[in-house]
Amino acid sequence: MEGSSGAIFAQGKQSIKIPVPVYIRASASVVGTKEGEGPLGDLFDVVGVDDKFGCDTWEEAESTLQKEALQMAIGKAGLSREDIRFLFAGDLLGQCIASSFGLGGFGIPLVGMYGACSTCGLSLSMATIMIAGGMAQYTACVTSSHFASAEKEFRFPLAYGNQRPLSASWTVTGSGAFVVSSSKSDSDRALITGITIGKIMDFGLKDSMNMGACMAPAAADTILTHLRDFRTKPEDYDKIITGDLGYVGQKALWDMLRDQNMDISHVHMDCGIEIYDRSQDAHAGGSGCGCSAVTLSAYILKQLEEGVWKRVLFVPTGALLSKTSYNEGQSVPGIAHAVELVSCVA
Amino acid sequence: MEGSSGAIFAQGKQSIKIPVPVYIRASASVVGTKEGEGPLGDLFDVVGVDDKFGCDTWEEAESTLQKEALQMAIGKAGLSREDIRFLFAGDLLGQCIASSFGLGGFGIPLVGMYGACSTCGLSLSMATIMIAGGMAQYTACVTSSHFASAEKEFRFPLAYGNQRPLSASWTVTGSGAFVVSSSKSDSDRALITGITIGKIMDFGLKDSMNMGACMAPAAADTILTHLRDFRTKPEDYDKIITGDLGYVGQKALWDMLRDQNMDISHVHMDCGIEIYDRSQDAHAGGSGCGCSAVTLSAYILKQLEEGVWKRVLFVPTGALLSKTSYNEGQSVPGIAHAVELVSCVA
């Protein structure tokens, strides 16, 4: 291959096999009350007693989630904010204001990202590339969502009291933050060994109350691409974990992959299904940038850290809509980014 | 420095001196009627005859700008869409819908970015890092803004006919796209030799009708940081070019830098000032993700290509507000990212 910068780290066109060890050194999760009452409740670092987190507005509350999660992750890594060379962050709100108002005080150079609910995977990918490319020793990622700010942003203000169909998902109130490092320590949570950057997939679905179905084609495409690029099979992973497809999207994903002669049902897990109990009335499951981020920090990395799982494929999925595009009758395209995580336990 | 990935390409904490040659191989600019009538009108690749670009909505029109600019840039580079490994894109609309609906058809893995009007600098920086890190041979960037979609998104619908103060800027209708390459060709437009990722700067200003003043502190901080990190002086550049400070922000920037004993007035240029003539009633000047992008493609790269300028510092600036944050009484923080460009002409 031509090119003056030497070898291209390729693994198929969309994927990069990370050529040097990159570690998730530490992480933190901060969630709201409903998430605290769910099946993963005991695993989160902080469960708020009030979903406003002491703030005047839902947006400020979401900014506070990001601030607390990042502060805690940096602290757990044994670092200070000055040690983090670049910060990758995003959220679901218009113009990503949860990040802009949550992270200014850190004084860390900021790369703003947007991938809807896939942003956790996207920001981890870029943070990893910075380190693998020799551009940083420590980077950090933080993403968030908040049920109340998201309902206001995408659907109806809570006070309107609208009915939600069973296909609707419940936006997770939570933020997950991660410190990514080029150097090994005694307490690394996992290795990041490969990434696949997703393409926009649009099957023409238009229902913002059924985002699982809208995102399933993107999840299917990214999973198929990753497995093809890395020449792996579903059985090579302890888990293939989507971000927030929920019950409806999970079924669509399984069906689409079966059409391609692939069955992932025995290894598939969805963060949106794990985070709430069916008794919690969250309908199709959890969603939002925070859903996959807090589940990764609190549960998935714990399983890898303890060696219960050796290798997982983490595939957060995003629905690329706004209330403007929805009101103008546009479809809801999806995108999904995959990150391969490997346990540091031999 | 510890770290298993070898040397860290550092140049101060926020800056990276690009360790291998990275070229802007080709670029394209597509603009609206007002921009076509301005001082740079003859230099743009496409000037629309109708600001709706044949679409039903302003948002679709903005998506069309991105689509046309990217298609043209890839074509000018002598490449096809399959050659571009990763695409970095963003815009000003909530949830970046101009990009989501403009770029899906390309099938290129997409990294969604958000830096408000600084997004052109941010996406060029990330595209460069991907190449410098050996992760791609060709990447592309595209950003856009549209006067009508931005007014609707941030201020008032056009039909409302609101008055604009003289400190307000005029959002540029336009999109600029760039193909970044690891390999030399006969027609490269410029070399990318260094980047500085900005921090959020918030001086507490709250006036969304005076974004120049809101963004000036970020421009000052990024310029000072870049010059300190690279040990250069303003005189070392043929131009130091901000994105869309306009007349009000330019004065604030000059004053803030003078307080730091630095005078850039003799080499400073602002895309927002260049793009419209004062007779065009654009008040403080042009703004928007498209402003710096189309000026870079049509004018700045032309000057570098012809060797008129040898070295410039390109510093797009972004105002991190949304209508929600504005209506909730929040300030308008700023961010600016710097890209150093060098002429390929000896």
**Residue B113 DSSP class:** B
Q: Which CATH superfamily hosts domain A15-181?
A: Stage V sporulation protein AD (3.40.47.40)
pLDDT of the residue at B7: 62
CATH architecture for residues A190-342 = 3-Layer(aba) Sandwich (3.40)
The fold of the B21-181 domain, in CATH, is Peroxisomal Thiolase; Chain A, domain 1 (3.40.47)
How close A10 comes to chain B (CA, Å)? Answer: 7
Question: Which residues in chain B touch residue A9, judged by CB atoms under 8 angstroms apart?
Answer: 133-135
Q: According to DSSP H, which parts of chain A are helical?
A: 33-36, 58-76, 97-103, 119-132, 147-154, 211-229, 246-259, 271-274, 289-295, 301-305, 323-327
**Residue type (1 letter), B40:** L
Domain ranges of chain A: 15-181, 190-342
A15-181 and A190-342: same fold?
Answer: yes
Question: Which residues in chain A touch residue B131, judged by CB atoms under 8 angstroms apart?
Answer: 5
Angle (CA) A38-A44-A47 rounded to 5° is: 75
Contact at CB, B135 and A133, closer than 8 angstroms: yes
What tokens does A170 get? 């419940």
Contact at CB, B9 and A135, closer than 8 angstroms: yes
Contact at CB, A320 and B100, closer than 8 angstroms: yes
Q: Mean pLDDT across chain A, nearest whole number?
A: 95
Question: Which residues in chain B touch residue A85, judged by CB atoms under 8 angstroms apart?
Answer: 13-14
Contact at CB, A322 and B136, closer than 8 angstroms: no
Contact at CB, A94 and B95, closer than 8 angstroms: yes
Each residue's pLDDT tens digit, B249-259: 999 999 999 99
List the single best residue of A141, A200, A225, A315 to mutate versus B (max B Cβ within 10 A): A200
pTM of the model: 0.96
Average pLDDT over residues B297-321: 98
What tokens does A268 get? 């598939």
Contact at CB, A197 and B131, closer than 8 angstroms: no
Using alpha carbons, select from A203, A196, A145 the residue that is nearest to residue A171.
Answer: A145
Average pLDDT over residues A41-59: 96
Question: Which residues in chain A touch residue B130, judged by CB atoms under 8 angstroms apart?
Answer: 129, 133
**Residue type (1 letter), A9:** F
β-pair partners for A128: none
Each residue's pLDDT tens digit, A71-103: 999 999 999 999 999 999 999 999 999 999 999
Each residue's pLDDT tens digit, A147-158: 999 999 998 888
CATH code at B192-342: 3.40.47.40
Residue A12 C-alpha from the chain's centroid: 23
Contact at CB, A110 and B330, closer than 8 angstroms: no
**Residue A197 DSSP class:** P
Res. B342 pLDDT band, cuts 50 70 90: very high
Crossing angle of helices B119-132/A119-132, nearest 10°? 50
**How many Cβ atoms are within 10 Å of B293's Cβ, its own excluded?**
35
Searching chain B, which residue's CA lies closest to the CA of residue A99? B320
Q: ipTM strictly over 0.90?
A: yes
Searching chain A, which residue's CA lies closest to the CA of residue B2? A183
Using alpha carbons, select from A89, A294, A78 the residue that is nearest to residue A181.
Answer: A78
Chain pair A-B, CB pairs under 8 angstroms:
233
How close B254 comes to chain A (CA, Å)? Answer: 23
